[in-house]
Amino acid sequence: MERVLAASGSGTVAVSLDSLSPNAPSDGDTLTVSGTVTNNGKQAVTGAHVGLRVGPELGTRSEIDAVARRTDFEPGVDGFEIGDKYVQKFAELAPGVAEHFSISVPVDKLDLGADGVYEFSVSLSGQTSAQPWEQVLGIQHTFLPWQPDEADTKTRTTYLWPLVSTAHMTAETGPGAQQTPVFLNDDLAKDIAPGGRLERMLTLGKDLDVTWVIDPDLLASVDAMTRNYRVQTKAGATPVAGTHQAVAKQWLAELQQAVTGKEVVALPFGDPDLASLAHRGTSVTGSLSQLKDATDVAASTVETVLHVKPDTDFAWPVDGAVDPSIVRVATSAGADKVIARSDSIQEPDSLTYTPSAARPIGGGTTAVVTDARLSTAFEGDLTRAGSGTLAVQRFLAQSLELDNQTGRQRSIVVAPQRMPSASQAQAMAQALTALQQSTWSESQDLAAAAKAKPDPAATTTVPSTSDYPSSLRKRELRRPAFAVIARTQDKVDNFKVVLTDESRVVTPFGRAMNREMSTSWRGRNSDAESFRDGVEAYLDDLSEEVKLIDKSETKLSGHSATIPVTVQNNLVQGVDHLVLRLTSTNPTRLKIGGKAYSEQQVTVSGGHSQSVKFTTSANANGPVTVIAQLYTQDGQEYGAPVTFDVKVTEITATVMLVIGGGVLLLVLAGFRMYTQRKRAAAREKAETAQDTQDAGDGSGGPDESGASAAEPGDGGPENPEAPAERLTEESGSGSRADAPEHASDPAPDTAAENGDPSGTGEKVDR
């Protein structure tokens, strides 16, 4: 009989089971087990050897859990070694030194009985100088699924293969019409590069029969990387150009090929945290609208990038934990199936087997209850080969034990963690490969599992809100987070109405707000807050690119004047549907457009400024404060107001009298000239008539002395009003000079003005 000390059995020598092949052996196979043994004690172990042990068949899933928790050797329970032939010996194990082992044994030497799950152990036996007798100094327990023949009834197994990531894209886009996207960092490039987490998920998943569950945000982000993109480096610094276009193109091309002909389930864009929304967000107006937008854009994103039509009928709360409020929120955007987990919707104790996943929970909603043991099998640190192997064997053992529970066929769904690490993905793929080659399981799509006939014995009761796990509730997004999202949405709504191409703002900011609700922020409160603040700050900066230019004091002389106000648009696109209002704070002294304020429509092209002019009228001297403010057409204030002073200087009465006198003199001078010209025209007409008469009777000519025939008093020089004298005086030689030289020359339209200097005090227009 083997002698064991409690201290030695608890880990004097650490045994690591690095590989076990095949994972589920059949008749005629040779089982190969390899790993390492490490002496953690202070004394050398001599006469050591590694042996294999087959324990009893395990009859329930709970017994499998119990064996997985054990670390000590229990005589009788852990069985005896499989003969001396199938061991590996070590003369000595020095302290702190790891030694590799590999043992192969034909399966028929294991003495396995009926089909089922067997405890299987690898132990290290030896002795120390302090305890010089052979004993088990270390042991590692695992499981051996044994189902060599095809099972009478196979379990239909659905395995969800999630492609989900954290938020990578910001709301910011580069200058210019191309809207070059800006990324928070270059982490996504690392994830999709060879060896990265998402590259491993894709490479491993494409050879498996799984249901792809994809966050459309991941697709949109990688698709954006296939073109020009920029990456933030540090706060305040200009983003640098991204350089991983080739990696992005390769990853997307392989994904398109991998999902062809496969079932694809699209989560809402950004994978919103449904539980946080249900518990914290519904009290904030507009939060459910964000979920609806994220759901609506999901299908189109997947179709555009992957060229497949996804299923959008499924909602997936964090860890499958549900309560009535989560179900209501999950289905509010159109989903009628909720992926829950069996540790949330628990079966009654009277149910001794695992029922099928689908069951109605009321309101036309189906809960697809995933198996908790299988779904959590690959959590934790699986970077060590030994931990991955143990996870694989435990998964297969639970699957086979589940199949052996009843003789009825059931549909089981497995939903692993949302973002498996590369090592976790490797273990998942290894387990699924073995399962899909097994004799007790067959693959099934998620949609088919959801439509399977519900087990009448399965529970259909959703746990109350008070039963929601406190560990999950502590990690939820808080109400202020949803308040920031709502405030940002209000700003977007106020901004977009003035844009000629609102999609340039609505789309990037809409998707950014979807990302703000992501489940990936759980446990990263400071990062989530920084992201939200960054989105809002960038929106504020963008909207401030349309603004009023500051004005200095304006002086207004006289009763009326025009005041210009300039609107500047530094955006790439034009803005319209804006109203500029100019308001006088003292309309008694200064009116704008005849009243207290005046408004004008504003349209400004991208990269330009527009000056808007307002007519003002003053009634009294003194300064008046004027406020210029932009508004949207629905009356919402847009941007900050511009306030400036208008200094009014009213014209005095004396100045008005002087100006009025000058105007009167101008009028009188013009009237005099008008009357003089009229009289001159009359005398010319009379003279013409007299000349005609003289030519007829010979009278009227000069006398011998050459004097005029006119008598004194009849128009001589003594009478300035005589027609002949007035004609000579008014017309002058200039009039005669302007007469036509030939009969065919046209006469002037009007008499020429007197070219002589004006008389004293006489004002003449020239």
Question: Is residue 613 over pLDDT 60?
Answer: yes
Cβ contact 158:443 at 8 Å:
yes
What CATH code is carried by the domain that includes residue 111? Answer: 2.60.40.10
Residue 759 lies in a domain: no
* Residue 171, pLDDT above cutoff 70: yes
| 361 plus 450 within the same structural domain | yes
Q: Are residues 204 and 257 in the same domain?
A: yes
Beta pairing class for 575-584 and 411-414: unpaired
Domain that holds residue 492: 479-543
Alpha-carbon gap, residue 171 to 248, rounded angstroms: 20
Residue 33 lies in a domain: yes
pLDDT at residue 518 greater than cutoff 90: yes
The answer as to whether 174 is a domain residue is yes
Q: How far is CA 720 from CA 726, 735, 754, in A?
A: 6, 19, 18
Which 3 state secondary structure label does DSSP give 600? Answer: strand
Both tokens of 669, joined, read 């001078």
- CB neighbour class for 713 (10 Å; exposed up to 12, middle 13-18, buried from 19): exposed
Whether residue 296 sits in one domain with residue 397 = yes
Domain contains 748 = no
In this prediction, residue 661 carries a pLDDT of: 58
pLDDT beyond 90 at 390: yes
Report how many domains make up the chain.
4
Strand-pair category, 181-183 with 230-231: parallel
Q: For residue 493, tell me if it sits in a domain.
A: yes
For every residue of 389-450, DSSP letters joined together read: HHHHHHHHHHHHHHHTS-SS--EEEE---SS--HHHHHHHHHHHHHHHTSSSEEE--HHHHH
- In-domain check, residue 314: yes
702 inside domain: no
Closest alpha carbon to 164 in 208, 220, 218: 218
Query: 362 and 326 share a domain?
Result: yes
- Judge if 306 and 179 occupy the same domain: yes
Give yes or no for residue 155 having a pLDDT over 50: yes
Higher-confidence position of 707 and 210: 210
- Given a cut of 80, whether residue 735 has pLDDT beyond it is no
Q: Tell me how far apart the alpha carbons of residues 308 and 740 are, in angstroms, rounded to a whole number.
A: 97
Same domain assignment for residues 415 and 273: yes
Mean pLDDT score, 741-753: 37
Instruction: Tell whether 236 and 366 lie within a shared domain.
Output: yes
Mean pLDDT, rounded, of the chain: 87
User: Is 622 inside a domain boundary?
Assistant: yes
Pairing of strands 411-414, 155-163: parallel
- Which of 510, 543, 576 is the endpoint of a domain? 543
Q: How far apart are CA 5 and CA 526, in angstroms?
A: 50
Residue 727 has pLDDT above 90, yes or no: no
Same domain assignment for residues 331 and 421? yes
| Domain termination site, one of 589, 624, 653 | 653
Whether residues 16 and 115 share a domain: the answer is yes
Q: Which is higher by pLDDT, 246 or 724? A: 246
Q: Is the pTM of this model over 0.85?
A: no
Instruction: Tell me the H-state helices in 226-357.
Output: 245-258, 274-276, 287-306, 324-332
Give the contacts of 531 (CB within 8 A, at least 6 positions apart).
167, 170, 184, 515, 516, 521
